[in-house]
């Protein structure tokens, strides 16, 4: 694939087919950790690291181990194993390097394991038969889209906290409505490419 | 053979990943209050979350900071519970005398 093809893939992955607003993957941390901007950005960066690493490892495992041995049917269980181990490592590293972020993310950090965006990217890499360059671009820009949207969303939620929201909509309902409006805005990017 | 090979491959991948986690946990080991460790060792270690904490480790921190009650732990056995309560009493008593001095 040419450079322009890669750029359009990057743009598609990050904005047009945004992982949260268009594919509805990774909603749990999106709603759970978006109350404060600092922890939202931390979550986004952790997700970028996990998805990129797990994308590279799962793609290589599939290409060089599972596929030659005709064990493609094992992909789901192998990918889950890799992702769980990676998240465990990220958790240990974060605990050492950034205790404040570790505390802010709390239970949502181990829950990256069950963040379906991670497994989703690993499986889409295989399903769409990406080569190495495409896989790197896709596994980098999907979580960057996640980081972008969760950052925007956390800023909106910080504003909503000070706004006079009707009692019935306080908390999660208004967050879901905001997310829906954000998704509608992002869906308009669909005509760009 | 058709069944054995996938099992072996999966086992090998799991082994390598386990080894890596072990290395990372050694290299990025965080020194923690040894009191947390002793309290955690006395909890059931089910990490069931019934106490409202994310796991037994968090519960141990809560107990040490007097934010949690031993009663919050649902699966703990009666003897273990009494031992843990005695241990905590001792800890807090020791703390008091050391601050008084």
Which tens digit of pLDDT belongs to each residue from B32-84?
778 888 888 888 888 888 888 878 888 888 888 888 888 888 888 888 888 88
Q: Distance between the two ends of chain A, CA-based, in angstroms? A: 17
> What is the pLDDT, as a whole number, of residue A139?
94
How far does chain B reach from its first CA to its final CA, in angstroms? 71
pLDDT at B32: 78
CA A108, CA B81: separation in Å to the nearest integer?
30
- Residue of chain A whose Cα is closest to the Cα of B52: A107
Answer left, alpha or beta for residue A24, where phi above 0 means left and psi between -120 and 50 means alpha: left
Nearest to B43 by CA among B30, B58, B25: B58
Report the C-alpha gap between B44 and A165 in whole angstroms: 44
Tell me if A74 and B54 make a contact (CB, 8 A cut-off).
no
Higher pLDDT, A32 or B96: A32
| pLDDT score of A193 | 66
Residues 42-81 (B) with a CB less than 8 A from some CB of A? 54
d(CA B48, CA B59): 11
CB A67, CB A58: distance < 8 Å: no
Q: Is B9 on the interface with A (CB under 8 A)?
A: yes
d(CA B7, nearest CA chain A) in Å: 10
Helix, strand, coil share of chain B (percent; to 5)? 65, 0, 35
pLDDT at B99: 66
For residues A153 and A30, the answer to whether their CB atoms sit within 8 Å is yes
A71·B5 Cβ contact <8 A: yes
- pLDDT digit string, tens, across residues A128-140: 999 999 999 999 9
Give how far Cα B5 sits from Cα of A71, A193, B29, Å: 9, 45, 35
| pLDDT digits 0-9 by tens, B48-58 | 888 888 788 88
Domain ranges of chain A: 10-183
Instruction: Please identify which residue in the block is written with the tokens 């041995």.
Output: A69
């Amino acid at each position: 694939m040419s450079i322009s093809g890669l750029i359009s893939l990057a743009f598609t992955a990050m904005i047009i087919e945004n992982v949260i607003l268009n594919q509805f993957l990774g909603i749990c941390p999106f709603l759970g950790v978006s109350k404060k901007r600092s922890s939202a950005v931390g979550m986004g960066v952790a997700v970028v690291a996990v998805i990129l690493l797990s994308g590279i490892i799962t793609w290589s495992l599939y290409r060089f181990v599972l596929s030659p041995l005709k064990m493609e049917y094992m992909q789901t269980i192998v990918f889950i194993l890799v992702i769980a181990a990676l998240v465990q490592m990220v958790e240990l590293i974060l605990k050492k390097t950034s205790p404040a972020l570790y505390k802010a993310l709390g239970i949502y950090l181990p829950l990256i394991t069950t963040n379906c965006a991670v497994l989703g990217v690993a499986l889409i890499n295989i399903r769409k038969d990406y080569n190495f360059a495409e896989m790197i671009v896709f596994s980098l820009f999907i979580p960057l889209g996640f980081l972008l949207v969760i950052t925007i969303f956390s800023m909106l939620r910080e504003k909503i906290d000070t706004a006079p929201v009707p009692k019935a909509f306080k908390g999660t309902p208004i967050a879901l409505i905001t997310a829906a409006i954000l998704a509608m805005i992002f869906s308009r990017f669909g005509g760009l490419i | 053979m058709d069944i054995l090979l996938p099992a072996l491959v999966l086992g090998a991948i799991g082994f390598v990943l386990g080894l890596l986690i072990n290395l990372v946990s050694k290299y990025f080991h965080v020194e923690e209050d040894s009191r947390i460790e002793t309290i955690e060792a006395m909890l059931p270690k089910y990490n069931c979350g019934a106490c409202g904490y994310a796991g037994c480790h968090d519960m141990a921190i809560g107990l040490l900071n007097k934010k949690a009650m031993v009663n919050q732990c649902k699966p703990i056995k009666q003897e273990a519970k009494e031992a843990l309560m005695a241990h905590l009493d001792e800890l807090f008593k020791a703390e008091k005398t050391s601050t008084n001095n």
